[in-house]
Structure formats: structure tokens, C-alpha cells
Amino acid sequence: MGRTVEVPEIEMQDTVRLPARETAVIVVDMQNDFVKEGGKLVVPDAASTLPAIQALLEKARKADVVVFYTQDTHHQGDPEWTIWGEHCRAGTWGHAIVEELSPRPGDRIIQKERYDGFYGTSLDHDLRVLGIRHLVIVGTVANICVLHTAGSAALRYYDVVVPVDGISALTPFDMEAAKRQIHFLYRGKLTTVEGVIFQ
């Protein structure tokens, strides 16, 4: 149809200060199938976010901020494969979190079967046990698993922060749509990894 749609202004914050003891970082689905050449559903810009996510994790670990990973996990007959094709089959190379972001002792891995990291998982319980109120969310895919996890967090009244240099999408449109929804609908704060300060 050739129609041009103007993207509404999306507010970015230069700095977001967060209390380290009440904050967790969530790395969403940074797995070989989404990030690495040869993966089954590679997101074009996912690999380019690795340095930013590495920097965020280094900053978080220095401040003793707890780190969670979500891991998209599917088994034979999973109905999601009728939508996207087979991907992230449990136990395969594609299912593994990328080596550059390998979880460390004390990090937590949440295996999930749908887009939302909270749906059918222990994530909310685990965060509340730790007294977490603020979430810094990075990963892929911006308008699918990142957005649904951020939205689900906001609906549970967590304070959501998304460094935009740490997320990736299938298309530029999808990226802008995700940023718009996180900011406008869920009142999440958009910033950069450099702008996240744990104190």
C-alpha cells in the first residue's frame, strides 16, 4: 500500500539510577538459534548487541546485582513450532545460551515455553523472594519475547528499564514498535547500557 507511518516520539533517559539490592538483570533468549550463524531463527542484529549486554553484565556483577536468563525451550510436538518452525529444541546447540554470555555460578536460568518469561515459570516467585522491584531487561526478540516479558513485569508492578542498545528485532519497524509499547503502554524507562547506574 506504500503508506508511511510516523513513529511517535519515544522518550529516552540519559541516566537511570537503580538500587542494586532491589534490581535484577534479565537476559532474554540470547541463544544460538536466535543469535549465531546457522541458528534456526537468527535475528539480524542480535549478535551486534553482545558487547552491550556483556558490559551490562559486568556492571551488574560488580554491583552484586542478581542476573536471570530466560531460555526459550521446546520439545517434540510443541505447538509453537507450527508458527515459527522448529527452534530451541531442548538439549540442542540452538537451545544453548551463547558462549559470550555464558551464565556464571549464582546466575539463574528460567526455561520458558512461550514468549513471556513469567508465563508458567517461577520467575515472579524467584524475584519476590529476593526482594526485587526493578528489572533491567535486554535480549531478543524486541517485539516478541522482550516485549512480552517487559509487559508482564510491568503488569506485576515491577519498575522496567530497557537499554535499547541491548535489544534486537527482526526489522526496524519491529524495534520501534517494541520501544513504543514499552515506553507508552507499560511506562518502562528506555536508556542505554551506559546510562544504567547501580548504586
Does some domain include residue 8? no
Q: Provide the pLDDT for residue 74.
A: 98
> Domain range spanning residue 140?
16-198
Does some domain include residue 85? yes
Does some domain include residue 149? yes
Q: What would the pLDDT profile of 120-161 be if each residue is shown by its tens digit?
A: 999 999 999 999 999 999 999 999 999 999 999 999 999 999
Does some domain include residue 36? yes
- CATH number at 64 reads 3.40.50.850
Does some domain include residue 26? yes
pTM: 0.97
Which residues are known catalytic residues?
Answer: 29, 112, 145
How many folded domains does the chain comprise? 1
- Between CA 113 and CA 135 the distance in angstroms is 21
Does some domain include residue 56? yes
Does some domain include residue 3? no
Q: What would the pLDDT profile of 90-131 be if each residue is shown by its tens digit?
A: 999 999 999 999 999 999 999 999 999 999 999 999 999 999
- Between CA 79 and CA 107 the distance in angstroms is 29
Does some domain include residue 10? no
